[in-house]
Amino acid sequence: MPYDTSDKSLRRQAMFLQAATVIIVAATVLNYLRTGEVVPFLFALFGSGLTELEVDGLLKGLALALPSFLYAGAVLAAGGIFGRIAAGEIFSARNSAGLGAVGGWLSMGAIVAMLVTPAVVDWFDLGAVRFRTEPTDMLIVVIGGLIQMLGFVHARATALRSELDQII
């Protein structure tokens, strides 16, 4: 079925957003490789061995980067939805599951940012485990839960639409 004018606009927007998701995820990974201690770690690992300080630095760097990678997972899941919308697939079980995945990745990233990252960093810096609850992280958890719920609602709406199509 050919796209009408509004569908063509939706398709173009979805294609643009899918490309943006790829760029964002690539930039996230490249930024970590640039700022993280991965390259020195790899040279030390395959070279003369690792010092305790190098291992601690890598683990702290991973703990600091983990929320960003989880958020990048949300962006990748959204990119899948955009790609399917660009192909004309709007109401589908895969898009419903994708919405749920976006919300799950967001919530998990914020929970890790509040609980795991500060605990690991403070353990190496201070020898104590601490947690940090920032308002933005708490909001992201709630927004992620909302998006997950929208995924469930989308799945139910898709099932109802399928039932109505069979009746008609």
Residue-level pLDDT, tens digit, the chain, 168 residues: 444 556 888 999 999 999 999 999 999 888 887 776 666 666 666 666 667 777 777 778 788 888 999 999 999 999 999 999 999 888 888 999 999 999 999 999 999 999 999 998 888 877 778 888 889 999 999 999 999 999 999 889 888 888 888 887
End-to-end CA distance of the chain: 19
How far apart (Å, rounded) are the C-alpha atoms in residues 90 and 82?
Answer: 9
How far apart (Å, rounded) are the C-alpha atoms in residues 137 and 11?
Answer: 32
pLDDT for res 129 = 80
Helices H / strands E in the chain, number of each: 5, 0
pLDDT for res 44 = 60
For residue 128, the 8-state DSSP code is S
The model's pTM is 0.80
